[in-house]
Amino acid sequence: AAGVIQSPRHLIKEKRETATLKCYPIPRHDTVYWYQQGPGQDPQFLISFYEKMQSDKGSIPDRFSAQQFSDYHSELNMSSLELGDSALYFCASSTTPKGLGNTIYFGEGSWLTVV
Amino acid sequence: AQSVTQLGSHVSVSEGALVLLRCNYSSSVPPYLFWYVQYPNQGLQLLLKYTTGATLVKGINGFEAEFKKSETSFHLTKPSAHMSDAAEYFCAVTPGTDKLIFGTGTRLQVFP
């Protein structure tokens, strides 16, 4: 079965540079979530989109932005990168944002290292 | 606000022994609870979830969890540990929206 696809899987950037992560949700899933997992930390919710509109916002820095496109894929843009942004970034998808208890499926994650 | 607390950041068991990973939740509304597993350098995989109905939930790989409202718990168990169960396990709850709030995780080690 198709899963959530994230690219790139690994990314190395220097401080103050910009990075873009891409996420392709499971077909027919209309909701996308972004999570950040620091080393040895639990995943922290950043932001979510439903039908191309932001549906919820968590601890996403102002330096980060995200959007969902007409084909439902999503991109997380990170600017002015800091060493502390080094983390595993997960994208996840599900069907409908208000279906409480819907399973949220995660991608393999994108490793960002800022040097 | 909803939250989950996982007791014990590390749990070690022998192969064949009972696995018990503890999760307690805090919620002002009926919670929806999940257990995810993360193998080294991999993504999060759903083990099982509780929404409504039967309080004993069976998941993949022989894991199960029981929702106990009186104890605000959702502990994860497996009767007999296997070496391949070694991983990080996260308990999670959904608040009023669909996003997941994760616990801090429990690393399970299985010794031969």
- CA dist B54 and A7 (Å) reads 38
Q: Give the largest Cα separation in chain A, rounded.
A: 40
Residue A94 has pLDDT above 80, yes or no: yes
List of E strands, chain B: 3-7, 10-14, 19-26, 32-38, 44-50, 56-58, 64-68, 73-78, 87-94, 101-102, 106-111
Q: What percent of chain A has pLDDT over 90?
A: 76
User: Given B52, B90, B100, which is nearest A104 (Cβ)?
Assistant: B100
pLDDT digit string, tens, across residues A18-65: 999 999 999 989 899 999 999 888 999 999 998 899 988 998 999 999
**Total count of residues recorded for chain A:** 115
Q: Across all residues in chain A, what is the average pLDDT?
A: 92
- List of chain A residues whose C-beta atoms are within 8 Å of the C-beta of residue B102: 42-44
CA-CA distance, B40 to B50, in Å (whole number)? 25
If phi over 0 gives left and psi between -120 and 50 gives alpha, with beta otherwise, what is residue A16?
Answer: left
Predicted confidence at residue B36, as pLDDT, reads 95
Confidence of residue B56 (pLDDT cuts 50, 70, 90): very high
Closest partner CB to A102 (pick from B90, B98, B102): B98
